[in-house]
Amino acid sequence: MTGQHRIVVLGAGYAGLAAARRFARTARDARITVVDAHAAFIERVRLHQQAAGQRIPAWDLRELLERKGVHFAHAVATDIDTTGKRVVLDAAPALDYDTLVYALGSVADAERVPGVAAHAYSIATQEDMKRLVIPRGTVAVVGAGATGIELAAELAESHPDSRVLLLGSEEPGAWLSSRARTHIRRTLERLGVEIRSDVKVIEVTAAGMRLADGSLVEAAATVWTTGFRVPDLAARSGLAVDSDGSVLTDATLRSLSHPDVYAAGDAALVVGPGGRELRMACATALPTGKYAADAVVARMRGAEPRPLRFRYVLQCLSLGRRDGVIQFVHADDAPARTVLTGRTAAWVKERVVRGASWAARP
């Protein structure tokens, strides 16, 4: 024990890196260690591009962090002993902490519908990408949310010989303004995507999928994009979590059950504008990661941090490399009237993605 405050950040995604970047500037007197199962930071928001065969950037985490004086442990966190304040790792010695920032993100939810885990691909993590094979023939993208829309557009643009189906229980972009929805539909159709709304997939098989109305849809590959779930480490370790396993936090992102633990990003349940839970997004992971670091440092210095203040500004969707939708939103994420489309939107989205990566990297 050196007397130094020991901060361990679990997860080097947008939230964990934003926290580490902040700590590197504001807590130089602390010993900061970031843990991640992967050696490289990959821009997760570009995984649909990688799925369509594009190369996406990767940054070496050790190099990125250690040049800022932050230690890096390349290992899987397998257990948190919240009484002994120690994180157990699979491939490195256990880490003792005074403060823990939990930012383990999310993975694809493949458990809710039979056959998804065995027969469908996902594009939520680096592991998913190693498994993914886009064959010739029909590719069915299930889920007409942002990830499904972006993937269908990207695949159709880069694989013009393939047949791309987009299946969802609602129309693509149902939560956006009518102008945005119209543009998404027109663009997907222009790219040749076949849209099937109002369908419910009840089983995925090796040959395709079965719908609730009893019909079968054949596909050479099915990509499941309908939801994300959080890792179970927090729940297994006894942190207070909701029914999905997200860490319950107060207005300063401190765990409701363990005051020396903070949570940020997809793995945290954070109450936002209008009393609604913040949605999983890098647009929420970055500010919550940064804020969590500020709250930790404030308390290390004996001050009480101000509650997190957060408001939404934009929702950005790419529709291939040359088109997109930028939906301006109110503070509570409800769509406003202003929408950008076409090349301008594609340009803005690319800037936002680059900016997010820049904001995360120390």
Ligand X SMILES: Cc1cc2nc3c(=O)[nH]c(=O)nc-3n(C[C@H](O)[C@H](O)[C@H](O)COP(=O)(O)OP(=O)(O)OC[C@H]3O[C@@H](n4cnc5c(N)ncnc54)[C@H](O)[C@@H]3O)c2cc1C
How far out from the chain centre does Cα 292 lie?
Answer: 17
Q: Which of 10, 20, 8 is nearest to 361 (CA)?
A: 20
Q: Which of 61, 72, 10, 35 is nearest to 265 (CA)?
A: 10
Instruction: Indicate the residue among 28 and 344 with the shorter CB distance to ligand X.
Output: 344
Helix (H, G, I), strand (E, B) or coil at 52: coil
Instruction: Indicate the residue among 218 and 244 with the shorter CB distance to ligand X.
Output: 244
Measured from each CB, the residue nearest to ligand X is 13
Integer Cα distance of 315 and 281 in angstroms: 10
Of 59-78, binders to ligand X (CB under 6 A) are: 76-77
Instruction: Indicate the residue among 210 and 326 with the shorter CB distance to ligand X.
Output: 326
Stretch that binds ligand X, among 40-48, 63-71, 176-184, 197-205 (CB under 6 A): 40-48
The residue within the footprint of ligand X, chosen from 11, 148, 173, 362 (CB under 6 A), is 11
Of 120-139, binders to ligand X (CB under 6 A) are: 123-124
Helix (H, G, I), strand (E, B) or coil at 169: coil
What is the nearest approach in angstroms of ligand X to the Cβ of residue 36?
4
Q: Should residue 246 be labelled a site residue for ligand X when binding is judged by CB under 6 A?
A: no
Stretch that binds ligand X, among 9-17, 172-180, 253-261, 304-312 (CB under 6 A): 9-17
Q: Should residue 80 be labelled a site residue for ligand X when binding is judged by CB under 6 A?
A: no
Amino acid at 207: A
Instruction: Indicate the residue among 241 and 316 with the shorter CB distance to ligand X.
Output: 316
Q: Should residue 33 be labelled a site residue for ligand X when binding is judged by CB under 6 A?
A: no
Integer Cα distance of 133 and 118 in angstroms: 14
Integer Cα distance of 331 and 314 in angstroms: 9
Q: Is 127 left (phi over 0), alpha (psi -120 to 50) or beta?
A: alpha
What is the nearest approach in angstroms of ligand X to the Cβ of residue 345?
12
Q: Should residue 282 be labelled a site residue for ligand X when binding is judged by CB under 6 A?
A: yes
Q: How many CB atoms are located within 10 Å of the residue 164 CB?
A: 26
Dig out the tokens for 91 from the structure. 């491939």
Q: Should residue 180 be labelled a site residue for ligand X when binding is judged by CB under 6 A?
A: no
Sign (positive or negative) of CA dihedral 128, 281, 203, 185: negative
Q: Should residue 104 be labelled a site residue for ligand X when binding is judged by CB under 6 A?
A: yes
Binding residues for ligand X (CB under 6 A): 11-16, 35-38, 44-45, 47-48, 76-77, 103-106, 123-124, 147, 231, 233, 265-267, 280-283, 285, 316
